[in-house]
Amino acid sequence: MTARIDIPSSDMTAPTLDEIEEIARRTVAALPAAFRGRAQEVALRVADFASEEMLEEIGGEAFDLTGLYEGIPMTEKSAWDMPERPDTVWLFRRPILDEWAERGDATIGDLVAHVTVHEFAHHFGWSDDDIAAIDQWWR
């Protein structure tokens, strides 16, 4: 279960890219020890939106994509894999902010933590049950 993590502000000011990255890094640091070390080996990037190339590759819309895992899931990796780039978890600030505003029932810290855990779940090859054991978001 992830720890409750929030930005240090009490108002409704939208967090910066750096603040979202800090929330995500604290989320990774709060993962169970069995996953934390491997998660810290994955690059973590925050941008306002996914790049055009990312959106074309997955067939998505800019405001619909809050996060993306780029890489080969650990359950599918082999010694023969020659990755073109490091495994990376991307978080997209503007879509996250839109969801935060639309939901109205979650803190920005909880939402960023949820998206972060979800994207790392792709890295680990976790099932929906595995995700639910780590991230209690939907309960």
* Residue 27 covered by a domain: yes
> What pLDDT is stored for residue 127 in this prediction?
76
Q: Global pTM?
A: 0.84
69/65 Cα distance (integer angstroms) = 11
* DSSP string over 22-78: HHHHHHHHTS-HHHHHHHTTSEEEEESS--HHHHHHHT--GGG-SEEEES--GGG--
* Residue 44 covered by a domain: yes
pLDDT averaged over 10-residue windows placed end to end, the chain, 139 residues? 46 87 96 93 97 94 94 87 86 97 91 93 85 68
**Phi, psi (5° rounding) for residue 87?**
-60, 135
Q: In which domain, by residue range, is 21 found?
A: 17-73+85-134
* Residue 79 covered by a domain: no
Question: Residue 36 maps to which CATH number?
Answer: 3.30.2010.20
* Residue 11 covered by a domain: no
* Residue 52 covered by a domain: yes
> What pLDDT is stored for residue 137 in this prediction?
65
* Residue 109 covered by a domain: yes
* Residue 65 covered by a domain: yes
Domains of the chain: total: 1
* 97: region left, alpha or beta (phi > 0 left; psi from -120 to 50 alpha): alpha
Question: Quick one: how many helices (H) and strands (E) in the chain?
Answer: 6, 3
* Residue 129 covered by a domain: yes
